[in-house]
Structure 1
């Protein structure tokens, strides 16, 4: 009996213990492995700040050293967040990558985002971190008097390792928008991911100081949307020797004269940026409209299959058909050309309540138009029309955006658009 029992014990031992073989090599886990088989629906990706805006607007002229009566409001803000919200209200569903703190302001921003039916998967909420906050004081006409920004969370936590988690969303996107609040290493990481996958990248400068962050990533940028002084700052950041300048014109009632002056002042910087790899410039000029500067037949959307028409964009396409000069390459795509073209689209009159968010709405309108199948010129016209709706609203992004109204305003803009230069 002892021998069979011994054989049974030996069999049990062999079954329970591993064979005497060398241990397997230690493998580092791949954070992307769980995403390898995930199917991602192409959506535009927006990376940048989500900010709680505190808006203070006095009802009487402010006085230094004391308080005055007025109105103070909490508003969901941040350049990237505003652009993403604007796009969502135009029927385009963006994927947002951002960071907030686990505090009152962060909860406020996330609650609003969820209430709008938008995805929060890409939004990191960090304990013991202050959510980005910007406090602005305006005059009675809506012009900014002073502001203080606390956006350290974006620079400290919106880092490459978080962005890499969403590689599939970025590489499958019809386009990627980055705001310059991102730290330089994150800007570069996102740009390279998009560039290697043929995804067009729009760089939103945010401010004069942060616009200079374009310097190490200019070769990856498809489009950028500066105002006059951001444009010059970007050109100077990329120029080792020649320095570009911009002097604001004194009050001028003649719009044509003002546009001519602005073109003369800004064209050297615009052309320089195109020579340094930027494919498309959308230069915002406030009440003087917008310059569009690019090589003739530039194609912003490299993969039209990722563009999806929405009910909003369908209405715009129908209403804006044939509303620009027939001899102008409206879609700016086709055979390659070395000629550089500059177009001017005018602003349209508005009953101004607040100017905050207008530039973000312009960019959101442009990107939503491009994702919906509109060409560059018409997309910018839609952006200008949305910006007009923004300045007529207390909120950064208007609550109700009417497709018919936007189409009518965009059509008026296109009918007054001009090709300033092409050679």
Structure 2
């Protein structure tokens, strides 16, 4: 099929693709502990049936020791054709009312801007229907060998890495297509070539044996909450750059964002300055960032005139491609252990060390994908990074060392608001990504 033939075919398929997306959004497939298991299994079963109908006739749930099952399938291609593994996930983030949703997160809602709103509309049910649309464009008979892996616990404690390590032969391929990303802006194609990693720990600061009357003892007795606050401020310099000795940083040479673009994307309040220095792309994709993502202390409602004897915070640091997560976490722990004021006692508990990832861009598969994106979108394709982490990528590379990776999808950074309230997707972006995936497989078959 020519590019115009592919575009016409996909255009005719789009009503069914969008119907599938809306059906999937309506299923609250939250795989986090404590949530109802039934909707997640319903989502898994519906997804399985859709992919079987699209051509993966042998698609099935795979046995895993714990958690929700991954879906695996294979379609043999012509003799000598390359092998491509398709990835997406069927679980979603929670959607608490406190996030401030303007419409029901489990009711797919088309708004005036043409976007479809609902939890999972972008992350990653749009990835699922992109794969489905591509399969239907080939009438279930792709020109390459296709393997399918759909994860059920990507948003929580993933069980897929262990599955891949146990069954590496299922993931041997020439190219992985990870449809769980997106362009910066709708209509402007980019290839994601770098993902930051994520290290995290919990730091507990203690100063007293027990609470004390703040009037009687305040001024001399050190407050653990104030000590924790002062400790956390040492993690950044005055500009907002990470100030942890030994942590790696760099610069970005691909696509960039203006400060005005970023302000609009992040819905920053008027008068608030951006943190850090360097280009916006440097700060997002090539330099580390650090945040206190949770604090345990007395709530305002339960507060009284006492000095806190202890306080804790969970600290998350995004690390850059090329860095070692164990070394970066060790540097963070060492900083926290040595920078508390007033001799406060500090205990640090490491929680996470997820590796960053850099995509190899010198292979035929990557070149084919970049050309496919340019043809599908009608303009040159750039390169961008992502602050989001996908530790699975390194595991997949270990399972199939010679394989290339393509990271893309319909989740545009500017408006999708993944993990947040009013998550949404642009149907036109899904359509273009289906076209891109069809063109990619054709190009791989020809080469």
Normalised TM-score (structure 2): 0.27
Q: Which has the higher helix share?
A: 1
Normalised TM-score (structure 1): 0.28
